[in-house]
Amino acid sequence: MVDLHQHAHSLNLRTVIWNRREYPGSTRYSDEEIEGQVNGRTTFLKGLGVLVKDFLMKFIVQENIPKSNGKTGGVVILGWSMGCMTAMSVFYPDTGVFDGDEEGLKTLESYVKDLVLYDPPHVAFGYPTPQGDKFYIPLTDPAYQGKTAEEKYKIFAHWAAGYYDHDLKMGVPGGLDLHGSSDRSSLDNWPEADWTKYFSIPAAIRSEKMFSPAMQKTLRKASERLLFDSPDDATKDRFPKVRITYISCAKSPWTCLWAAYETRRMFKVFLNKGRSPKRWINFTVIEDGNHFVHLDSPQNFLATLKASIVAPDSDALNAVSVSTAWVYARSEFYLRALKGKL
């Protein structure tokens, strides 16, 4: 993760990474919060949103962050994998994150410029699994029933970090690679020190309750209200200038490809009904990247991220290669600098 920080400056970026609740360096959930997650209470999502809000407010003041002028300044909120739920939490329309804090809302609206959803799985939105029983998840594999929870989560992590050969020309979900393992994983050579620093199996066992049916139903409603909201809907127009940038990775496990497909499909249906989105969604797919491309190619991932953020609104799927992203980003960087746009 440190490599991301090392490469950010050359792209005129500043990166700040924080771990999700319960994991190393962060605060444990209370028993009441875990119960709220299991039972799908919106108060759980509100709690996440308030944490994001409070952090941003303090960080902006403490670090003297300039306001966004549409091109420079401001902050971009990025969530990775299930962390997209936390990233979206400050934007969910109906959870009451800004109740009684209109001043805080007004302040953040002048700084937050983009929400990036980086390779979330389908459960981050509460989408149902495609029909059929062949969609593999290691945690429910009968072959592993005799293993401990710790062993299962280690297997799950390697599965999530694998490289998979989906046949996207065949379509989704029919062309998805549903193998339970991959010949290559981004975590194959991960030192034990990094496992300890960034991941905690006890934390995963205790806190990963968003897969409960009740929370999946709550996430589905909240995410659809966020992603497919229209200005004529009877909700307060919060963060009207924030665009959503959706980055998926074509070598990730099937669950992430399914999430990207479903989100883009529903966004196109929304547009085809003649409705105007409150927030535009740009879609980028990294054709040679997996779920951990930021770990395998941190410099090129950041270049792809920046290019995706500054790209104009488009209804086309932007397909990129992480292997050439750095060259492209540097050429664009110098071109924009010469034009006085950086």
pLDDT, tens digit (0-9, with 9 covering 90-100), for 66-118: 999 877 899 999 999 999 999 999 999 889 999 999 999 999 999 999 999 99
pLDDT band at residue 337 under the 50/70/90 scheme = very low
When the pLDDT of each residue in the chain is averaged and rounded to a whole number, the result is: 88
Whole-model pTM: value is 0.91
Q: Give the per-residue pLDDT at 342.
A: 42
For residue 287, give the nearest of 311, 318, 266, 259 by alpha carbon: 318
Measured between alpha carbons, how far is 206 from 8 in angstroms, rounded to an integer?
34
Please tell me which of 100-109, 150-159, 194-203, 319-328 the model is most confident about, judged by mean pLDDT: 100-109
Whether the predicted pLDDT of 242 surpasses 70: yes
Whether the predicted pLDDT of 333 surpasses 80: no
Whether the predicted pLDDT of 334 surpasses 70: no
Average pLDDT on 191-206 reads: 83
Average pLDDT on 261-273 reads: 93
Q: Give the per-residue pLDDT at 339.
A: 46
Q: Give the per-residue pLDDT at 341.
A: 44
Q: Give the per-residue pLDDT at 83.
A: 93
Average pLDDT on 282-307 reads: 94
pLDDT band at residue 20 under the 50/70/90 scheme = confident
Residue 80 one-letter amino acid: W
pLDDT band at residue 338 under the 50/70/90 scheme = very low
pLDDT band at residue 261 under the 50/70/90 scheme = very high
3-state helix/strand/coil string of the chain = CHHHHHHHHHHCCCCCCCCCCCCCCCCCCCHHHHHHHHCCCHHHHHHHHHHHHHHHHHHHHHCCCCCCCCCCCCEEEEEECCHHHHHHHCCCCCCCCCCCCHHHHHHHHCCEEEEEEECCCHHHCCCCCCCCCCCCCHHHCHHHCCCCHHHHHHHHHHHHCECCCCCCCCCCCCCCCCCCCCCCECCCCCCHHHHHHHCCHHHHHHHCCCCCHHHHHHHHHHHHHHHCCCCCCCCCCCCCCCEEEEEEECCCCHHHHHHHHHHHHHHHHHHHCCCCCCCCEEEEEECCCCCCHHHHCHHHHHHHHHHHHHCCCCCCEEEECHHHHHHHHHHHHHHHHHCCCC
Residue with tokens 């001043």: 103
101 burial via Cβ count (<10 Å: 0-12, 13-18, 19+): middle
Measured between alpha carbons, how far is 59 from 251 in angstroms, rounded to an integer?
35
pLDDT band at residue 63 under the 50/70/90 scheme = very high
Residue with tokens 């797919």: 285
Average pLDDT on 36-60 reads: 96
Measured between alpha carbons, how far is 264 from 127 in angstroms, rounded to an integer?
13
Q: Give the per-residue pLDDT at 23.
A: 86
Whether the predicted pLDDT of 143 surpasses 80: yes
pLDDT band at residue 336 under the 50/70/90 scheme = very low
Q: What is the CATH number of domain 2-338?
A: 3.40.50
pLDDT band at residue 234 under the 50/70/90 scheme = low
Average pLDDT on 164-172 reads: 85
Whether the predicted pLDDT of 24 surpasses 90: no
Convert the pLDDT of each residue in 104-138 to its tens digit: 999 999 999 999 999 999 999 999 998 866 788 88
Average pLDDT on 301-326 reads: 88
Lowest mean pLDDT among 4-8, 143-147, 298-302, 308-312: 143-147
197 burial via Cβ count (<10 Å: 0-12, 13-18, 19+): middle
Q: Do 227 and 244 contact (CB within 8 A), yes or no?
A: yes
Please tell me which of 160-169, 241-250, 323-332 the model is most confident about, judged by mean pLDDT: 241-250
Sheet holding 317-320: strands in order across?
75-80, 112-118, 243-249, 281-286, 317-320
